[in-house]
Structures are given as structure tokens and as C-alpha cells.
Structure 1
Amino acid sequence: MLNHDEALAVRPLTLAWVSQHLEVGERIIRSEALHGGITAQMRRLAIGTRDGGTRDLVLRTFVNTEHAEDWLNREAGALTQLAGSGVPAPGLVAVDPTAAHCEYPSLLMTHLAGRTVLDDEGLETRVPLLARQLVAIHALRPAERPRDYVAWTTADSVVTPKGADAAAWAAAIDVIRKPAPPYEGRFLHRDFQPGNVLFDVLSPARITGVVDWAQTSWGPADLDVAHCATNLALLHGPVWGLRFVEAYEDAGGVLAAAASERLYWLVRDGLACSEEVGLVAQPWRDAGKTDLTTRAVEQRLDAYVTALMDTLG
């Protein structure tokens, strides 16, 4: 049985809904909060099986329901399409996108072994692995395309960090005032970054899972590459953002041919982070990267945007 605190964490209607999707004779025996999510609450549920063993499921719950139905439907669709694809994604068990059965919109999925790795140590090995995994995702050709990507910022909503290189930021903002370059559409994760990739606990040289498919989209490969590059730059320093772009091409990925087109996508994602630096960095601090204060991340973002303009501008 769940203890009192755990029963409060997983609401009664949600517990009943989860129980309906278990095998005969199975029961929920334990609940544990998972950290790292920004938009949803995540819990690992230990399920007692009929033979006396256990298996784990993951419950994703949106308490803030503004985008919940859209995101949960997209994630459910993506997980269904990814089954058997070779991409290590969770398996869909059930989804309640409108909270017809649960207290809040929820999705139940299988649990993947592994852990996120945010340390600087071993980065030389992990970056090529991340790049190869993203190339594999972009190679997917689903029977039904997800909806087209949505840009996460505009030139007028960018927040220039205090003390930033004003000339570089003004030039970067001018870049995204232009129309988006033409592109060949690809299946995008749309939030592919170290916080959503699991590595083997015993051998960090192997990816065991890619999670959080709630914003799956159709768009340019450059956009997914840019998002991971920005996150690597903020986590580990600007040079790692640029290295990821190289690693993606080394892994066989194809990006925009013109430097101006690459710059557009890279800058667009970097500037999007300017609006929510504190929110982006909070899960990293929760995971132990206490040096990544909002100010430190702002400084890295400034250095990264400046490096992009110096390199490709």
C-alpha cells in the first residue's frame, strides 16, 4: 500500500485511473517524485506484480493545464509512432489529456533505465553520442507528421542580459527579424537536450532513453540542433554549443548549407532562452549544478550569442 504522504502526492482519482491500466493482480506499492521537469510533475510508480516482483511506470501530470491537452496528445502520438523505431523512448500506457478521469491531465508510460548526466567530466564522449541520437531521430519518417514547429521568440520579446555585448545582441535580433530560411522538414523532438537524455548508469558511453516528447514538431533539423547547442553552451560553456553543431554533421546530419541560414536557427534558439534564463537553469541547480545561478547562465548566454555572431555573422 502507498503510505499517507505518497497517497497525497498521487491524487485518488489518478490512482484509480492508473490502477485500471495495470495487469490483473498488480498494484501500486510506491511513489517517488522525479526531478528535472519544468512544465509537468513527474512521478515514478513502483508496481507490484503477480509473481512478487516489481516494475516501474512513470506518471506525467500537468497541474497547470493551459497547454496540457495539446502537449499530452502530442506526446501520446509521438510515443505511439516511436514504438519499434529503434529510438529509445518510453512506451505509452495510457493518456487522459482532458482530465476526464484524473484530477489533472495525465499520461502514464513505461520507465526507462538510466540517468541524466550534466557533469563536465566525460563531455567529450557524450557530445558525439547526443549528436548521433539526434541524427537518428531526424531520420524518422512517421506515417503522420506532427504539427509544424512554432517559434519560441520574436525580435521584440528578446530580453538582452544586463552587461551584454549590446552591438552583438542588436545584430542577433536583426537576424531573426528576417523571414525564416527555406528548409526540408524533419521529425523534431523540439526539446532535445541533456536534461531529456538518459545514459547508462554503469556505462555513460551509452544512451538508454530520450524522454519528454510533448513538443514533437515538424521543421528544420537546424532547430533541434540549435536547441541542444544552446543548452550545452549554458551548461558547459559556449564552445560546447559550437562543437555540438560540428558533431551533428560528423554523425551524418545535414544542416542548412549557407552560414547565414545556420546562423538564423542558432541565434533564434539562443535568443529564445533570454526570456526565461532563470526557469531554464532551475532544474540544473536542483540536480546539483549550484554554480549555474541565473546571472552565471546569463553571462554564458551572452558569450554564446556573441560567439555565434563572430563565427557566422
Structure 2
Amino acid sequence: MRSDGLAWSEVVLGARITDVSELSGGLTSTMLALTDGAGRRSVLRLMTNEPWKAHGLALTEREASALQALEDTPVPAPTSLGLDAEGRHTGVAAHLMSRLPGHPATRFDDVDVTAMAELLAVIHEVKPAKPFRSYQSWAWEAKRILPAWTKHAGSWQRAFDVLAEEPPSYQPMFLHRDYSHRNLLWSGGEITGVVDWVETSTGPAWLDAGHAATNLALAFGPEPAWTFLERYAALTGRRMEKYWLVMDAVGFLPPPGREPMFGSPTELERLDHWLHDLMRLT
């Protein structure tokens, strides 16, 4: 599979691959950093991990379409170089992209969080020629079970009650749908890349903002998460919408019978605290 992907990449690039290394952090895919004989750097996504592998065709096609929609925008996204969505050449759905400079950040201060909010506001102003699919909630009804580790059972139950209601109306926006610090590249204190566009959707802006905030809360605690939401609200003039923030937080619960994907005691405690804080919003 890997060798097939490299052979296909050489055909697409028109050059021999001279260096290959696996990028860390890929949840859905095997991500390979490639360098070819001309010195060009690219990234090969191979949809090897279930359950995403089964949906690889749609995911890679969506990512390629998103990158094409972003080509003439200020958003620093990769360029799509080649697509084997059906896996005819690589054995699994594959997408070859340019590799952007920079590295993920391991800590965030107010300046970084503000830059994240500013860039998300820019993403939400993108007007693709054809709308992407409507957002999908990751807070499935089957997930709405009180977690055994919670210290705030009442807050979780109220959150489930909120999500049982009809969603509020919203202005459809272009969403990254997995916007978080994990999918940003930085260099010299500036964001140099936004990656992982397989979930690109049309939906409410605060669902995107909420996902970024939940990820910040789990990784670093509530302070940068709240700062991010406040900066985004100030930049866009959009009032925080509790429903979408709660939807995202509940979406981090695992399906019945499965362990949380993040799972460390610290992250579970932070998710518990974050959801409790969100339920205090008016």
C-alpha cells in the first residue's frame, strides 16, 4: 500500500521520490512527507485507518475540492496535486498535496490565540462556487450517556436536554469543521498553514469556533479556550451561541462501549470542566 502510494506519487510529480518520513498525529490516515529529486516537498494522505478508511473516497474528494476552493483566498492551505479517491493505484483513497512550511505549536499565548481567531474569521468569509455538504453533528444521540468520570452530572444532563431541542437558525458559512490548534502550522510566530480539510462543510460559524475552543480547553485548559471565543466574537461581531458550543463538547464523548479517543485523566477532567462552564452561558 505504501509502496503503491509512492509509485503513484512519482507519476503525479513526474520525479523520483528521494526521501520519505511519516508525519505524527494522523488520526484518520497515514501521512507521508515526501521529497522528490527536484527538491519539492509534498504530503501524501493514505486513508488507512477505520472508520475513516470506509469513507475514504468522499473524504479525499472533499479535501481536494476544499483546497481548490481556497486557491485564490488568503487562507494558507496546501495545493492539491493529485487524487486517487477510489484507490485504484494506491490500494486506499489517497490525496497528494503540497507541503507547507512550519510546525504545530506546543503552547499558546494570547497573541497565538488571537491569530487563530483572526484566521477562522477569514475562513468563514470564503465563498466557494458550490456549497459543501451540510455539517454533521458529532454529538450523536447514542453518545448522550452520563460519563462515569463526571463530577458535573447535572451539567451533562442539561446539555443533553439542550441538544434534544431543534437547532437554532443560523447563517450558513464555509466551515473547516475540524479547525483546531492541531491542524495549524506555525513559523516565526505566524500561522503558515491550515491542514486536514476532509470534513469541510457548510454550517454555523460557532460550531467551527466551538471545536477550536474545546480542543484548546482539553490541551491547555479553559483560559485560552475562552480567550479564543471572546476574540472571535469581537472580530466578527457574532454573539456566542451556546447550542453549537455544547454540541461540539458533547461530540467528544465516545460512542457506547468505546473508550474516549483522547482518554488521559487530565483531558477527561478538562472536558468535564469545560462542559460545566459552557452550561453556565446564558
Q: Which TM-score applies when normalising by structure 2?
A: 0.93
CA distance in 2, matches of 1:111, 1:170: 44
Query: What per-residue deviation string (whole Å, max 9, x for no partner) do you get for residues 218-275 of structure 1?
Result: 0010110010011011111123222211110222x243x4x6xx11100110011122
Secondary structure of the 2:18 match is: strand
Show structure 2 runs of 5+ residues with no match. none
Q: Percent identity?
A: 35
1:176 corresponds to 2:159? no
Q: State the partner residue of 1:299.
A: 269
Which among 35, 42, 51 is matched to residue 46 of structure 1? 35
Query: What per-residue deviation string (whole Å, max 9, x for no partner) do you get for residues 122-168 of structure 1?
Result: 42111000000000000011111111111112344234331321111
Which among 118, 126, 132 is matched to residue 140 of structure 1? 126
1:216 corresponds to 2:192? no
Q: State the partner residue of 2:253.
A: 274
Deviation at 1:280, TM superposition (A): 4.5
Which among 226, 235, 246 is matched to residue 242 of structure 1? 226
Letter in 2 for 1:43: L
Which among 5, 24, 32 is matched to residue 14 of structure 1? 5
| Cα 1:87/1:98, change in 2 over 3 Å | same
Query: Is contact 2:80–2:96 with CA below 8 Å preserved after alignment?
Result: yes
Which among 55, 58, 73 is matched to residue 43 of structure 2? 58
Q: Which moved more, 1:225-234 or 1:237-246?
A: 237-246
Letter in 1 for 2:96: L
Secondary structure of the 1:57 match is: strand
1:30 corresponds to 2:19? yes
Structure 1 residues 97-246: aligned runs within 5 Å:
97-119=85-107, 122-161=108-147, 162-200=149-187, 203-204=188-189, 206-246=190-230
CA distance in 2, matches of 1:62, 1:279: 21
Secondary structure of the 2:252 match is: helix
Give the greater-gyration-radius structure (CA). 1
Structure 1 residues 86-105: aligned runs within 5 Å:
86-105=74-93
Deviation at 1:309, TM superposition (A): 1.1
Query: Is contact 2:180–2:212 with CA below 8 Å preserved after alignment?
Result: yes
1:68 corresponds to 2:45? no
CA distance in 1, matches of 2:264, 2:192: 30
Deviation at 1:278, TM superposition (A): 6.2
Across the aligned residues of Structure 1 and Structure 2, the Cα RMSD in angstroms comes to 1.7
